[in-house]
Structure 1
Amino acid sequence: MKSPITGKEMLLQRALDTLLYKKEKFHVVYHYYLCKDSGEQFTDDQLDTLNITQVYNQYREKYRIPFPEEMKQIREKYGVSAFKMSEILGLGANTYRLYENGEMPSVSNGRLILSVKEPSEFIKQVEASEHLLTAKESDKYITVAKEVQKRETVNIWNMIFNEQIFYHQEPNEFTGYKLPELNKISNLIAFFCENTTNLYKTKLNKLLFYADFLNFKNTGYSITGMSYKAIPYGPVPSEYERLYIRLSDDQQISIQPKYFNDFCAEEFKALSNFKENVFSKEEIEVIWKVVNSLGKLGTKKVVDISHEEKAWTENQADKNFISYQKYAFDVIGIIMD
């Protein structure tokens, strides 16, 4: 960005700061451009969004207000339009749509929306709103909710296994404020398989880390919703062994042992093609950046690079979970802004 004062290019700066929202203080990594000649600070729409996103994410996490993607998932599993969901929950006509587009719900409305994640609670809300719905609509929504309830009961073991894979089930600072998504994870692995050679487990773990943390650095959100831990070989998805077993069982990846003189490595291959439409334009740019920066490097070199990250050095002793909010903006590697 050029300085409106001097016309010279300005450097992007980051600094720890505190922003107020609803009379509460939230700590953020504030982004701005600095005009060296005048000492003035400037932002653009992208930086303003990144700065305020950090505040909104922390506020939602603190009060467990659902994120837009959660609200969309809840609504869609019952086959209800945003307008009808507003009616069923007793909100303003266009309120649910506004919430899905990022407007912040009140704490009480947020908890109301989360409650209908349970089919039995959704049915209660539909029954309480029968004066606003036609008999056909009411019957339809209740029938769908009961079918969802049956499916979730049948799939209880699958849900338990997912909980073992994703230690953090709700968006928070350790998931990059996203819901964990197996579909995105498998497609991201497919991308790395298609665009790197000799992709072994240790290197894959690092590529996933850099993709998620770099995306957070740019947008305030991870790509996959995975949490990461710091272990001796660098940052890794927190339950990566269970994750890869699940993806192998689902025929999304194959894992083949490859023997060397004094050790055995596990090489990954994708069993389905990469689907670009699963990702946003910004996410695609990030994962290409990761591949172009790290994809051709050997596993040892990528591990060595990851060991330079504060995300690893400050957490590896206790094998801690790594906070996106605390560490993503410091991610360096050989990936340049």
Structure 2
Amino acid sequence: MLITHEREKLIQAINFFVRNTKKCGKVKLFKLLYFLDFEHFKQTGRSVTGQNYFAWPKGPVPVDLNNEIENPMPDMAEAFQFQKKPIKDSWALDITPNVEFSERNFTKREMMILKNLAEEYKNADANSMIEATHLENLPWDKIYNQDRKKQQIIPYELSIRNDERDRLIKIVNDRQELLEKLR
């Protein structure tokens, strides 16, 4: 399996959130990754982990990661132990890191967003995380409630307000021009 830069960031972002927040099961983790990716996209025009998020009833879900947790790829299986724990009438996913956290693949901006999210949601439970992603006019709400596109992909572009879109387009264009000059 080819381990990409985004894949390494995904694994290390999971590692970071599990280590730096309480009660970080699957639901909370998925919402933290969503906030990480969409906030970074809003600031730079790029996600951190490369995940696509879909509008499910309880909020945004990175479907590929959701599916992988059932049958982890070797790098994910090496990095984490996933164990289902019974709770009330259901179960919760307990995630235990097997590797140390490394920030070497993250930019300063990405680390700042990771730290801010971990601090803001340190003690939040799954239901609070669901509520936070369901706020009116956030990307999940726009797709799930406003457009009624249930189970559909949530475009990253929805994280950008119209007045911010022009600024982001300029950043992306400037980056493209720089890359052309470097070639």
TM-superposed CA distance for 1:243, in Å, is 2.9
Q: Aligned partners of 2:50 and 2:31: how far apart in 1? A: 15
Q: CA RMSD in A?
A: 2.1
TM-superposed CA distance for 1:293, in Å, is 1.2
Q: Aligned partners of 1:205 and 1:287: how far apart in 2? A: 13
Measured against aligned partners, the alpha-carbon deviations of 1:84-140 in whole angstroms (never above 9, x if no partner) come to xxxxxxxxxxxxxxxxxxxxxxxxxxxxxxxxxxxxxxxxxxxxxxxxxxxxxxxxx
Q: Aligned partners of 1:328 and 1:322: how far apart in 2? A: 9
User: 2:154 matched to which residue of 1?
Assistant: 322
Residue 123 (structure 2) pairs with residue 296 (structure 1): yes
Q: Which amino acid aligns with 1:319?
A: Q
TM-score w.r.t. length of structure 2 = 0.76
Runs of 4+ in 1 over 3 A off after TM superposition: 247-250
User: 1:270 matched to which residue of 2?
Assistant: 97
User: 2:60 matched to which residue of 1?
Assistant: 235
Asked which structure has the greater CA Rg, the reply is 1
Please state whether the residue corresponding to 1:210 is helix, strand or coil. helix
The unaligned stretches of length 5 or more in structure 1 are: 1-157, 163-178, 331-337
- Residues 247, 295 of structure 1: alpha-carbon distance in 2 compared, 3 angstrom cutoff: farther
Q: Aligned partners of 1:254 and 1:202: how far apart in 2? A: 16
Q: Which amino acid aligns with 2:160?
A: F
Measured against aligned partners, the alpha-carbon deviations of 1:17-71 in whole angstroms (never above 9, x if no partner) come to xxxxxxxxxxxxxxxxxxxxxxxxxxxxxxxxxxxxxxxxxxxxxxxxxxxxxxx
Q: Which amino acid aligns with 1:323?
A: P
TM-score w.r.t. length of structure 1 = 0.43
Q: 2:37·2:49 contact (CA, 8 Å) conserved in 1?
A: yes
Structure number having the greater helix percentage: 2
Percent identity over the alignment is 27
Q: 2:138·2:159 contact (CA, 8 Å) conserved in 1?
A: no
Q: Count residues in correspondence.
A: 154
- Residues 243, 222 of structure 1: alpha-carbon distance in 2 compared, 3 angstrom cutoff: same
Residue 37 (structure 2) pairs with residue 205 (structure 1): no
User: 1:31 matched to which residue of 2?
Assistant: none
TM-superposed CA distance for 1:188, in Å, is 0.5
User: 1:313 matched to which residue of 2?
Assistant: 141
TM-superposed CA distance for 1:247, in Å, is 4.7
- Residues 230, 251 of structure 1: alpha-carbon distance in 2 compared, 3 angstrom cutoff: same
Measured against aligned partners, the alpha-carbon deviations of 1:150-182 in whole angstroms (never above 9, x if no partner) come to xxxxxxxx57xx9xxxxxxxxxxxxxxxx8721
Q: Aligned partners of 2:152 and 2:142: how far apart in 1? A: 9
Specify which structure has the bigger relative contact order, considering alpha-carbon pairs within 8 angstroms and separated by 6 or more residues. 2
Q: Aligned partners of 1:296 and 1:247: how far apart in 2? A: 30
Q: Aligned partners of 1:286 and 1:229: how far apart in 2? A: 22
